[in-house]
Amino acid sequence: MGMTDAWLLPVIPAGAFVALTFLGPWLPRRGDWLAILAMAATFLLVWPITADLTDALATEGAEFAGVANSIPWLEVPGNLELRLGVYVDPITVVMLIVVSFVALLVQIYSLGYMHGDSRYGWFYAVLSLFAASMLALVLADNFLLLYFAWELVGLCSYLLIGHYNHLRSAAEAAKKAFITTRIGDVGLLIGIILLFTDTGTFDIQQVIAAAEEGTIRTEVLTASVVLIFMGAMGKSAQFPLHVWLPDAMEGPTPVSALIHAATMVVAGVYLVARTLPLFELVAGASELVLAVGLLTTMMSATMGLVVTDIKRVIAYSTINSLGLMFVALGLGHPAAAMLYLFVHAFFKALLFLGAGSVIHATECQEVSQLGGLLSKMSITAPMFLIGALAMAGVPLLSGFWAKDEILTGALENRAVFSILLLSLPLTAMYMTRVYILTFLGEPRDKEAYEHAHEGPATMWVPLLVLGFLSFFAGLIVFDPIGRMLGFPGGIGEVIFLLEPEPLDFDWYVAFGSTALVLLGIGAGWYAWAVRTDLPQRAQQRLPRLHALFANKYYLDDIYQGIIDNVVLAGARVLAWFDRNVVNDTGVDGAAYATGFMGYLLKFQQTGKLPNYALGIVVGVVALTVVAFAVKG
Amino acid sequence: METAAQQVPLEHFLVLSAILFSLGVYGVLTRRNAVLILMSVELMLNAASINMVAFAAYTAPQAFTGIIFAVFIITVAAAEVGLALAIILRIFRNRQTANVDELDQLKW
């Protein structure tokens, strides 16, 4: 099992999907064990591939450029050769570990969370399909296969957000997610085709090589890079296409943990990291990534402060984190982005699964009705706390190391650095807020509180595993620990891309950020645990600001306005044209004209046979004469 | 030794076929009895068959296409007669006439 066999990884869960779809109702327990076994097998197979990669890295060092294995797919001789294949390099392996591991844990967790669901088997089938497509996405060696998988994960996201399809809000949210990401996807597709027209290949590495040789026209390269980034913005919920992610929380919570926190939404980060050489060749592209990332980070942090739904708070924190990853990419530090992606997958999945435990226990997800759950949920509460502190960036937890990498990378750019510093206390504050409102204080809804209990072992064991990783995963930044786990050179060569980078550590940055994080936590503690009337008063003093945040910067209203006034107005014009011109004049008109001609001609019919016979004879004679005349 | 083809030129057959065909057309146009019209149609079909066989014998004696075509025409004609006579019989039973001038209901 080497790197060239990596194609097996997506095939296994895809097989589980097929089996569950066609045989599901006849399998014991609807086949959930089959999905989990397939995922476990996939997860185990990732390790030989990782070992193979680390061996290659150890022998080839910086010369190593990734391993590709592909088969011909479609061939037009002399014109076009499409290949289907996998490409494995360090970022691929990081993604493989994250995807297969989180998918496995989420599937185990769902045993408890989804127990008794009416579409239990279908849920597991789609989870398997999602895992297969996500693995195919990160393994794809060409843009076409990548796009194919890209759309498949979008489809799975749609299906799973709308899992509770009897709820109108869930159906609407699924539609919104699908359409919003589709806006970005169209850009991605156009970008891929543009690159193909100038290079004649879909192979990502060949396209990058062609761009570096300068065989792609500048304007084409610029346009396609911007369009590819559009795809990444849609999938990774970046401003202004981030609006779908908070609504996606309508789906079952394990889905939010897997798709909308750990894996699918980071596909955009992965795509930009994968094509970063292209971004570096286009003037202004990195700045665009940077600006979008910063704006998204700030906006989501402020919105996270006022949202009252526990899952949506975490959703905004996800958007916040994704923005941070794009900032790192825009600064030209893909390694920092990938490190953040790696640890983020653990602590964000932990937060979502913790929130899932709370919802499972209380059947309630408004923080205004929760509270005091610490005494009832002795596993969920501390694990959630670890996740929240890791997200906030408290030292020694995994989030700290990754955030520190990004901050150190931003040191040279003062404006970016100061905005990032500003977002730190905000993030810490809303994570503190959600923890306090959920687990501390007096229970606000007695009935929900009495009802609360810790879930089954299938639910709390994944929490413990993720809690452990959220605490310690960041330590792989230290080379000795990396080496101990089998990665030569630790982070330097596993997560980092082309040239290994040493760990950047700056004591000033570390202390400064820690101080800001603690300030945020303190402020959050003071506002929501000590002076609990403070948020209310702030809300009354600054009603406009609160409304701006609570209404998500009115973006949803603006989009709805655009849909109502522009899209639907255009649709009405087209509908009028279709009704009056195409239908009434064209289709009905043609039928009416034919009918009228028939009315005129029917009186020529006598019904007498000899008349018709004479007509035939005269016609044949006339045709013969004409034929002879024409032929001469 | 002269073959039959050399003694009787192709034109003779074509003239015979043309005469037969014209008779058939004349019959179809002038007769009023449906059965007689049917017989005239048969005449036309046979004229066509003669043409087929004659051309086959004179232009491509080794190939069977013309002859097979004639066989097909005979077969189809037999089937057609069977069908048409049945229809005429039903009409006669219904209306006590086979005169096509009186059968002019098939119009607006």
- A132 burial level (CB within 10 Å; 0-12, 13-18, 19+): buried
Q: Which residue of B has its CA nearest to A615?
A: B29
Which residues of chain B lie closer than 8 angstroms to A609, CB-CB?
37, 100, 103
Helices A218-235 and A143-161 cross at an angle (nearest 10°) of 20
What per-residue confidence (pLDDT) applies to B25? 93
Are the Cβ atoms of B107 and A602 closer than 8 angstroms? yes
pLDDT band at A618 (very low <50, low <70, confident <90, very high): very high
Find the CB nearest B101 among A602, A603, A608.
A608
Quick one: pLDDT at residue A397? 86
What's the pLDDT score for residue A570?
93
The answer to whether A593 and A586 are in contact (CB under 8 A) is no
pLDDT for res A492: 53
Residue in A605, A608, A610 nearest the CB of B108: A605
Cα B29–chain centre separation: 14
Give how far A628 is from chain B: nearest CA, Å: 17
pLDDT for the residue A490: 47
Planar angle of CA A364, A370, A374, nearest 5 degrees: 115
Task: Name chain B contacts of A614, Cβ cutoff 8 Å.
Answer: 29
pLDDT of residue A631: 82
For A557: left if phi > 0, alpha if psi spans -120 to 50, otherwise beta; the answer is alpha
Q: Which two tokens stand for residue A459?
A: 């639910």
A-B contacts (CB, under 8 Å): 29
Mean pLDDT value across residues B84-104: 89
When CB atoms are compared, the residue of A602, A603, A617 closest to B29 is A617
Task: Please count the helices (runs of H) and the strands (runs of E) in chain B.
Answer: 4, 0
Residue B65 above 50 pLDDT?
yes
pTM for this prediction: 0.77
Please, which pLDDT band fits residue B1 given cuts at 50, 70 and 90?
Answer: very low
CA distances from A165 to A168, A175, A252 (A): 7, 11, 11
Question: A352-383, pLDDT tens digit by residue?
Answer: 999 988 888 888 888 777 877 877 888 888 89
B87 touches chain A (CB under 8 A): no
Q: Of A183-192, A287-296, A498-507, A596-605, where does mean pLDDT reach its minimum?
A: A498-507
Question: What is the tens place of the pLDDT at every residue in A516-533?
Answer: 888 888 888 888 888 877
Residue A484's pLDDT band, with cuts at 50, 70 and 90, is: low
Measured between alpha carbons, how far is A446 from A453 in angstroms, rounded to an integer? 13
Q: Which residue of B has its CA nearest to A607?
A: B104
Those residues with Cβ within 8 angstroms of residue A12's Cβ, 6 or more apart along the chain or in another chain: A38, A41, A42, A45, A132
Given an 8 Å threshold on Cβ–Cβ distance, is A608 in contact with B37?
no
**pLDDT at position A458:** 84
Q: What is the pLDDT of residue A497?
A: 43
In the chain, the amino acid numbered A295 is L
Does the distance separating the beta carbons of B28 and A608 come in below 8 Å?
Answer: no
Classify B8 as helix, strand or coil.
Answer: coil
More confident residue, A174 or A60: A174
Identify the residue whose tokens are 């894996």.
Answer: A263
For residue A588, what are its two tokens?
């009905």
pLDDT tens digits, A51-105: 888 777 777 766 677 788 888 888 877 777 888 888 888 888 888 988 999 999 9
Residues of chain A with Cβ-Cβ distance to B37 below 8 Å are 609, 613
Residue A512 pLDDT more than 90? no
* pLDDT of res. A29: 82
pLDDT confidence band for A502 (50 / 70 / 90): low
Does residue B32 sit at the A interface (CB-CB below 8 Å)? yes
Instruction: Please compute the mean of the pLDDT values over residues A552-566 and round it to a whole number.
Output: 86
Long-range (24+ apart) CB contacts under 8 A made by A210-217 are A211/A277, A211/A278, A211/A281, A212/A277, A212/A281
Rg (CA), chain A: 30
Q: Is B37 on the interface with A (CB under 8 A)?
A: yes
| C-alpha span between A534 and A540 (Å, rounded) | 10
The residue among A204, A101, A62, A42 whose CA lies nearest residue A493 is A62
Structure tokens at A450: 């009495």
Q: Which residues of B touch A617 (CB under 8 A)?
A: 25, 28-29
Contact A617 B105 (CB under 8 A): no
Partner residue opposite A614 with nearest CB, options B29, B103, B106 = B29
What pLDDT does residue B9 have? Answer: 86
Min distance B74 CA to chain A CA atoms (Å): 22
- What confidence score (pLDDT) does residue A498 get? 45
For chain B, the straight-line distance linking the first and the last C-alpha, in angstroms and rounded, comes to 65
Please write the tens of the pLDDT for every residue from A384-397. Answer: 999 998 988 888 88
Closest chain B residue by Cα to residue A620: B25
From the list A602, A607, A614, which residue is nearest B105 (CB)? A607
CA dihedral A115, A120, A121, A123 (to 10 degrees): -120
Nearest to A517, CA basis, from A383, A419, A400, A410: A400
What ranges in A114-264 are assigned the alpha helix state H?
A: 120-139, 143-161, 168-199, 204-213, 218-235, 244-247, 253-257
Mean pLDDT of chain A: 86
- Report the residue from A607, A610, A614 with minimal CB separation from B107: A607
Nearest-neighbour CA in chain B from A595: distance (Å) = 13
Helix, strand, coil shares of chain B, percent, nearest 5, are 75, 0, 20
A564 residue type, one letter:
D
Residue A630, C-beta contacts closer than 8 angstroms, at least 6 positions apart: none
- B21: contact with A, CB 8 A cutoff: no
Q: Is the predicted pLDDT of residue A605 greater than 80, yes or no?
A: yes
Are the beta carbons of A101 and A47 closer than 8 angstroms? no
Is pLDDT above 80 for A478?
no
Nearest to A527 by CA among A539, A515, A516: A539
Kindly identify which residue of chain B lies nearest to residue A598, measuring between CA atoms: B108
CB A68 within 8 Å of CB A3: no
Helices (H), A86-142: 90-113, 120-139
| The two three-digit tokens of residue A228, written as one number | 């590819």
Q: Which amino acid is present at A17?
A: F
Tens of pLDDT along A114-124?
888 888 888 99
Measure CB to CB from residue A610 to each of B29, B105, B108 and give the nearest one: B29
Q: What is the mean pLDDT of residues A422-451?
A: 84
What pLDDT, on a 0 to 100 scale, did the predictor assign at position A233? 92
Residue A493 has what pLDDT?
52
